[in-house]
């Protein structure tokens, strides 16, 4: 965070954001940047991971003069404990989402929920095949068996690896994890498991080990962190993605619109924000129904416009083509346009500031999840068993709010970009003609040097979208295909990098491949749980070439990262063999030992590792060097 006060232009590269920010300044609306300024400078103990409050003999802070906490824990233990607690929270967020989908899917399979259906039978069968479930049975029987293996991963008590990890991870990678477990045991004499056994168990074990007086060694703690991250990437997140595809359809290529300009002055605007399509799919369906459109006309609107923010946006744009109003940092700004009748939220990345802010407008800030309460929200309890009814109530609440809109407060920035989205692994393989071969051939021929997968949030400490866009631009220029998810994907869509025209910004080789396949050089693969799609794509390439993921010219990045989920995502990519860039610096600087393990020590064991770089141009160059190095071994 720069020490000097930042000017407006230094806060974002998005003109729509700057437009609303000057309005906010005029009208005195508070934003995330105002609160960041008041919180700065941040506590250096927290920033370096050196503060422990895991028991009430503390809190303890580590300095040169006080190198041990009251219990005797040193800097490495405290930093590692804090890190894996954050990672466990991130894995829990993804996996709780995954569990909700698996439970719903089971109910649909059992015939106990009629508000949802199986939308993609072909995907269900392809999942079933991975588990050697007979696909000649009727669809309901297949679904019941797939539900059983998914739910088992949240509750089984044996020592075997997760069903989903066993079925989806490439053979060579599984052998690597096995070897790492053996190597750690022979080096230390202590059992250190990498292969996750049960998603909830690994998260619980992180919490147990970080309790005062349990696990007090950085390596041992970090290995459990790796196991928990794998339980997320090849477990909770993967289950969420796969079963959502079955329930709501596997994304395919489509054109959408992005940025605040998608909001419509003459319509009832409903924003869906958060993460779980179980809610947002129903809200979109209810809003589009002729009955609700008619009701909107009765209050003087031309219709109902649904737009998304954050990863809920990514879910509904990938499957339904719903426009996206923005990424994480747009959530307050969208309300400030004065045309949002309802901001409907479920879980994750939703600022508690939205309730008080919505009160300055006619906007109804509607919370829906029993897991998430917010100050000054209107709570309409979502219930999967009455999903249509509840979704209708939400839409009706928005329609009612339209009557209260104050025309004096309306200010919609005009910025809108088009983006080609919907690149599920299935869609990519279809575009490639049914096999990864054309992509592999393009990589082998050097037309595409390699692939970088980016996920990322927004973080007001960093100029909004600046790192995302600068890094993306540099990479495609270097003939590196960029794929990704989350708030990075929304940044790329808003900046026009997902249009076919963006082919012109790519290097000659990448441009040629993209033109032949009629795709942009930057591919939107979905929400943050959909990082699992990138793992599945990496697995498909590794299996095709009969190599390990760590042999592929792949690099990951989480620029502008914010959430604990990003800690888990970054770690499961590293654990899967991918070098991962991070900026900003995670709170681990207080321990050289922890930094050493994560940036160097893991390399020999897992193939992946973390690296930190503040400059996007230098990051792209470093990524290119890593890719070129990996290509030599091909
Ligand atoms: Fe201090 Fe140890 Fe308690 Fe942490 S666990 S607060 S280091 S005494
Ligand atoms: S929403 S986790 S800010 S990507 Fe998935 Fe965006 Fe990061 Fe939340």
The answer to whether residues 467 and 556 belong to one domain is: yes
- Distance of alpha carbon 563 from alpha carbon 455, whole angstroms: 11
Ligand 2 atom nearest the C-alpha of 486 is 4
568 alpha carbon – ligand 2 mean position (Å): 12
Q: Ligand 1 in contact with 491 (CB < 6 A)?
A: no
Q: Which residue, by CA, sits nearest to atom 8 of ligand 2?
A: 349
- Provide, for the chain, the percentages of residues in helix, strand and coil under a 3-state DSSP scheme, each rounded to the nearest 5: 55, 10, 35
* Residue 17 placed within a domain: no
The answer to whether residues 319 and 240 belong to one domain is: no
- Distance of alpha carbon 423 from alpha carbon 317, whole angstroms: 11
Give the pLDDT of residue 207. 98
pLDDT tens-digit series, residues 598-623: 999 999 999 999 999 999 999 999 99
**pLDDT band per the 50, 70, 90 thresholds, residue 313:** very high
Q: Ligand 1 in contact with 360 (CB < 6 A)?
A: no
The answer to whether residues 381 and 429 belong to one domain is: no
Q: Which residue, by CA, sits nearest to atom 6 of ligand 1?
A: 58
Give the pLDDT of residue 2. 55
Give the pLDDT of residue 426. 98
Q: Ligand 1 in contact with 112 (CB < 6 A)?
A: no
60 alpha carbon – ligand 1 mean position (Å): 6
Ligand 1 atom nearest the C-alpha of 77 is 7
487 is in an annotated binding site: yes
56 alpha carbon – ligand 1 mean position (Å): 7
* Residue 279 placed within a domain: yes
Give the pLDDT of residue 5. 78
**pLDDT band per the 50, 70, 90 thresholds, residue 456:** confident
Structural domain that includes position 86: 75-248
Q: Ligand 1 in contact with 74 (CB < 6 A)?
A: no
Question: Residue 28: left (phi > 0), alpha (psi -120 to 50), or beta?
Answer: left
Residues 6 or more apart whose CB falls under 8 angstroms from that of 516 comprise none
528 is in an annotated binding site: yes
Residues 6 or more apart whose CB falls under 8 angstroms from that of 217 comprise 76, 77
pLDDT higher than threshold 80 for residue 70: yes
Provide the H-helix boundaries in 321-409.
330-336, 354-358, 387-402
Average pLDDT, the chain: 97
Q: Ligand 1 in contact with 59 (CB < 6 A)?
A: yes
CATH number at residue 124: 1.20.1270.30
Residue whose entry in the numeric block shows the structure tokens 């920033």: 47
pLDDT tens-digit series, residues 5-47: 789 999 999 999 999 999 999 999 999 999 999 999 999 999 9
Show the tokens assigned to 107. 């109910």
What's the average model confidence in pLDDT over 155-175?
A: 97
Q: Could you give the number of structural domains in the chain?
A: 3
What's the average model confidence in pLDDT over 401-428?
A: 98
**Ligand 2 pocket: which of 349, 372, 464 to mutate (most atoms <8 Å of CB)?**
349
Show the tokens assigned to 523. 């591919």
Which residue, 202, 217, 248, sits at the end of a domain?
A: 248
397 alpha carbon – ligand 1 mean position (Å): 49
Order the strands of the 522-524 sheet from edge to edge. 522-524, 480-484, 450-454, 554-559, 580-583, 610-612
Ligand 1 atom nearest the C-alpha of 59 is 6
The answer to whether the beta carbons of residues 578 and 554 sit under 8 Å apart is yes
Q: Which residue, by CA, sits nearest to atom 7 of ligand 2?
A: 457
Ligand 2 atom nearest the C-alpha of 456 is 4
The answer to whether the beta carbons of residues 1 and 463 sit under 8 Å apart is no
Q: Which residue, by CA, sits nearest to atom 7 of ligand 1?
A: 69
pLDDT higher than threshold 90 for residue 4: no
Provide the 8-state DSSP code for 12.
B
* Residue 235 placed within a domain: yes
Return the number of other C-beta atoms located less than 10 Å from residue 78's C-beta.
Answer: 28
Ligand 2 atom nearest the C-alpha of 563 is 2
Provide the 8-state DSSP code for 409.
G
pLDDT tens-digit series, residues 537-592: 999 999 999 999 999 999 999 999 999 999 999 999 999 999 999 999 999 999 99
* Residue 51 placed within a domain: no
Closest ligand by atom to 79 CA: 1
531 is in an annotated binding site: no
The neighbouring-strand residues paired with 328 are none
- Distance of alpha carbon 238 from alpha carbon 392, whole angstroms: 30
* Residue 210 placed within a domain: yes
459 alpha carbon – ligand 1 mean position (Å): 30
Return the number of other C-beta atoms located less than 10 Å from residue 117's C-beta.
Answer: 10
The answer to whether residues 93 and 195 belong to one domain is: yes
The answer to whether residues 534 and 564 belong to one domain is: yes
Q: Ligand 1 in contact with 183 (CB < 6 A)?
A: no
pLDDT tens-digit series, residues 191-235: 999 999 999 999 999 999 999 999 999 999 999 999 999 999 999
Question: Residue 286: left (phi > 0), alpha (psi -120 to 50), or beta?
Answer: alpha
Ligand 1 atom nearest the C-alpha of 212 is 5
**pLDDT band per the 50, 70, 90 thresholds, residue 1:** low
The answer to whether the beta carbons of residues 335 and 343 sit under 8 Å apart is yes
Q: Cβ < 6 Å from ligand 2: which residues?
A: 310-311, 328, 349, 456-457, 486-487, 527-528, 562-563, 565
**Ligand 1 pocket: which of 50, 51, 53 to mutate (most atoms <8 Å of CB)?**
53
The complex's ipTM works out to 0.96
Going by C-alpha positions, the residue among 368, 513, 379 that lies closest to residue 446 is 513
Show the tokens assigned to 200. 């909830």
Residue 263: helix, strand or coil by DSSP?
Answer: coil
Strand pairing report for 268-273 and 254-258: unpaired
What's the average model confidence in pLDDT over 239-255?
A: 98
CA distances for 538 relative to 289, 426, 523, 546, 619, angstroms: 39, 13, 14, 12, 21
Closest ligand by atom to 213 CA: 1
Ligand 1 atom nearest the C-alpha of 53 is 6
454 alpha carbon – ligand 1 mean position (Å): 36
349 is in an annotated binding site: yes
Which residue, 223, 248, 273, sits at the end of a domain?
A: 248
pLDDT tens-digit series, residues 320-366: 999 999 999 999 999 999 999 999 999 999 999 999 999 999 999 99
Return the number of other C-beta atoms located less than 10 Å from residue 410's C-beta.
Answer: 12
- Distance of alpha carbon 364 from alpha carbon 340, whole angstroms: 8
The answer to whether the beta carbons of residues 104 and 247 sit under 8 Å apart is yes
The answer to whether the beta carbons of residues 425 and 256 sit under 8 Å apart is no
pLDDT tens-digit series, residues 269-308: 999 999 999 999 999 999 999 999 999 999 999 999 999 9
- Distance of alpha carbon 253 from alpha carbon 424, whole angstroms: 9
Residues 6 or more apart whose CB falls under 8 angstroms from that of 555 comprise 450, 451, 452, 453, 578, 579, 580, 581, 623, 626, 627
514 is in an annotated binding site: no
Can you say whether the dihedral through the CA atoms of 62, 593, 621, 176 is positive or negative? negative
DSSP per-residue string spanning 185-205: HHHHSS----S-S-HHHHHHH
The answer to whether the beta carbons of residues 336 and 362 sit under 8 Å apart is no
pLDDT higher than threshold 80 for residue 634: no
**Ligand 1 pocket: which of 59, 81, 215, 218 to mutate (most atoms <8 Å of CB)?**
59
The answer to whether the beta carbons of residues 401 and 380 sit under 8 Å apart is no
310 is in an annotated binding site: no
**Ligand 1 pocket: which of 70, 74, 213 to mutate (most atoms <8 Å of CB)?**
70
What's the average model confidence in pLDDT over 626-631?
A: 97
The answer to whether residues 277 and 404 belong to one domain is: yes
The answer to whether residues 340 and 198 belong to one domain is: no
The answer to whether residues 324 and 222 belong to one domain is: no
Return the number of other C-beta atoms located less than 10 Å from residue 606's C-beta.
Answer: 21
- Distance of alpha carbon 418 from alpha carbon 496, whole angstroms: 7
CATH number at residue 482: 3.40.50.2030
448 alpha carbon – ligand 1 mean position (Å): 50
The answer to whether residues 431 and 392 belong to one domain is: no
- Distance of alpha carbon 355 from alpha carbon 336, whole angstroms: 13
* Residue 345 placed within a domain: yes
Residue whose entry in the numeric block shows the structure tokens 């960093």: 462
The answer to whether residues 405 and 442 belong to one domain is: no
The neighbouring-strand residues paired with 109 are none
**Ligand 1 pocket: which of 60, 75, 207 to mutate (most atoms <8 Å of CB)?**
60
| Residue 375 host element (H or E) | none
DSSP per-residue string spanning 109-175: HTT---SS----HHHHHHHHHHTT--TTS-HHHHHHHHHHHHHHHHH--SSSPPHHHHHHS-HHHHH
464 is in an annotated binding site: no
pLDDT higher than threshold 90 for residue 3: no
What's the average model confidence in pLDDT over 493-505?
A: 98
206 is in an annotated binding site: no
Going by C-alpha positions, the residue among 432, 610, 436, 422 that lies closest to residue 530 is 422
The answer to whether residues 186 and 312 belong to one domain is: no
488 alpha carbon – ligand 2 mean position (Å): 8
- Distance of alpha carbon 171 from alpha carbon 406, whole angstroms: 60
Q: Which residue, by CA, sits nearest to atom 3 of ligand 1?
A: 55
- Distance of alpha carbon 553 from alpha carbon 92, whole angstroms: 30
The answer to whether residues 367 and 426 belong to one domain is: no
Ligand 2 atom nearest the C-alpha of 528 is 5
Closest ligand by atom to 52 CA: 1
Which residue, 386, 409, 432, sits at the end of a domain?
A: 409
Q: What are phi and psi of 415, to 5 degrees?
A: -65, 125
The answer to whether the beta carbons of residues 566 and 455 sit under 8 Å apart is yes
72 alpha carbon – ligand 1 mean position (Å): 8
* Residue 91 placed within a domain: yes
DSSP per-residue string spanning 470-539: HHHHHHHHTTEEEEE-HHHHHHHHHTTTTSGGGGGGS-HHHHHHHHHHT--SEEE--SSTTHHHHHHHHH
* Residue 55 placed within a domain: no
């Amino acid at each position: 965070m720069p020490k000097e006060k930042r000017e407006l232009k230094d806060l974002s590269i998005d003109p729509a954001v700057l437009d609303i920010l000057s309005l906010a300044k005029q009208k005195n609306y508070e934003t995330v940047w105002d609160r960041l300024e008041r919180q700065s400078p941040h506590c250096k103990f927290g920033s370096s991971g050196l503060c422990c409050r895991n028991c009430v003999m503390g809190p303890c802070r580590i300095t040169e003069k006080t190198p041990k906490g009251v219990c005797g824990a040193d800097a490495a233990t405290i930093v590692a404990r804090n890190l894996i607690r954050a990672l466990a929270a991130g894995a829990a967020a993804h996996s709780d989402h995954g569990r909700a989908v698996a439970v719903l899917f089971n109910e649909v399979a059992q015939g106990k929920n009629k508000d949802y259906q199986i939308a993609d039978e072909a995907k269900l069968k392809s999942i079933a095949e991975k588990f050697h479930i007979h696909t000649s049975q009727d669809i309901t029987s297949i679904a019941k068996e797939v539900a059983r293996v998914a739910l088992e991963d949240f509750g089984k008590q044996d020592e075997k690896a997760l069903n989903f990890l066993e079925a989806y991870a490439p053979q060579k990678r599984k052998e690597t994890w096995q070897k790492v477990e053996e190597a750690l045991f022979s080096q230390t004499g202590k059992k250190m498991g990498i292969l996750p056994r049960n998603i909830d168990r690994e998260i619980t074990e992180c919490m147990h080990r970080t309790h005062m007086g349990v696990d007090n060694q950085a390596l041992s703690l970090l290995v459990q962190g790796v196991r928990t991250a794998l339980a997320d990437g090849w477990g909770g997140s993967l289950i969420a993605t796969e079963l959502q595809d079955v329930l709501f359809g596997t994304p395919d290529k489509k054109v959408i619109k992005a940025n605040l300009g998608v909001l419509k002055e003459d319509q009832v605007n409903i924003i869906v924000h958060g993460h779980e399509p179980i809610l947002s799919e129903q809200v979109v369906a209810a809003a589009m129904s002729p009955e609700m459109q008619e009701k909107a006309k009765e209050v003087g609107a031309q219709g109902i416009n649904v737009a998304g923010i954050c990863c809920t946006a990514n879910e509904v744009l990938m499957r339904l083509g719903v426009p996206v109003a923005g990424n994480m940092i747009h959530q307050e700004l969208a309300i400030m346009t004065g045309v949002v009748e309802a901001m409907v939220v479920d879980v994750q990345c939703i600022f508690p500031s939205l309730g008080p802010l919505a009160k300055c407008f006619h906007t109804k800030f509607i919370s829906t999840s029993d897991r998430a309460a917010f100050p000054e929200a209107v709570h309409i309890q979502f219930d999967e068993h009455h999903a249509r009814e509840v979704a209708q109530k939400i839409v009706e609440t928005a329609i009612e709010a339209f009557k209260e809109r104050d025309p004096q407060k309306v200010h919609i920035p005009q910025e809108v970009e088009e983006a080609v989205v919907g690149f599920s692994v299935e869609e990519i393989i279809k575009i490639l003609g049914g096999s990864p071969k054309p992509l592999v051939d393009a990589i082998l021929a050097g037309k595409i040097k390699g692939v970088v997968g980016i996920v990322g949030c927004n973080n007001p400490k960093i100029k909004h979208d600046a790192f995302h866009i600068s890094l993306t631009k540099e990479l495609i220029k270097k003939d590196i295909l960029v794929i990704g998810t989350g708030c990075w994907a929304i940044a790329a869509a808003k900046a026009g990098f997902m249009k076919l025209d963006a082919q012109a910004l790519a290097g000659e080789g990448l441009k040629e491949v993209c033109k032949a396949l009629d795709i942009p050089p930057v591919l939107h693969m979905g929400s943050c749980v959909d990082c699992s799609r990138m793992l599945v794509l990496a697995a498909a390439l590794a299996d095709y070439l009969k190599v390990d993921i760590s042999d592929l010219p792949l690099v990951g990045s989480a620029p502008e990262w914010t959430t604990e989920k990003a800690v888990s995502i970054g770690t499961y990519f590293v654990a899967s063999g991918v070098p991962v860039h991070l900026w900003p610096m995670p709170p681990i600087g207080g321990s050289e030992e922890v930094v050493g393990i994560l940036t160097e020590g893991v390399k020999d064991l897992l193939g992946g590792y973390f690296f930190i770089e503040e400059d996007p141009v230098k990051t792209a160059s470093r990524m290119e060097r890593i890719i070129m190095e990996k290509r030599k071994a091909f």
